[in-house]
Amino acid sequence: MKKSLQLFGTVLFISGIILFGLMHLAIALYIPHLGEWSDPPGKLIVVLDEIIGWFPYVLSILFMLLGGSMLIFDLWKSKQKEQVGKKS
């Protein structure tokens, strides 16, 4: 169970990073072709609206958060088991 949780967390975290990077690459490639943007939302929001990139952008952040929290939980659980082993 421990290895599968750690592996799943790592896969989620890395896939989130890759998707986040690809989205920023798509944004950077589209910005030179941007005609105009309004100042309050800014270029990033306007580009995400125009390329319909909200879903993958939010999904990449969600993957990174879920994967990172799984890895942190796994590290915390292994520390707890290590401390219980030392006490007994």
What total number of domains does the chain contain? 1
Distance in angstroms between the alpha carbons of the first and the last residue of the chain? 23
Q: What SS3 class is residue 35?
A: coil
pLDDT score at 3: 85
Give the pLDDT confidence of 46-76 residue by residue, as tens digits. Answer: 899 999 999 999 999 999 999 999 999 999 9
pLDDT category at 18 given cuts 50, 70, 90 is very high
Residue 16: is its pLDDT beyond 80?
yes
Residue 27 is assigned to a structural domain of this protein:
yes
Structural domain that includes position 77: 2-81
**Domain presence at residue 14:** yes
Distance from C-alpha of 16 to C-alpha of 71, rounded to nearest angstrom: 14
In a domain, 40, yes or no: yes
Q: Does residue 43 contact residue 31 with C-beta atoms inside 8 Å?
A: yes
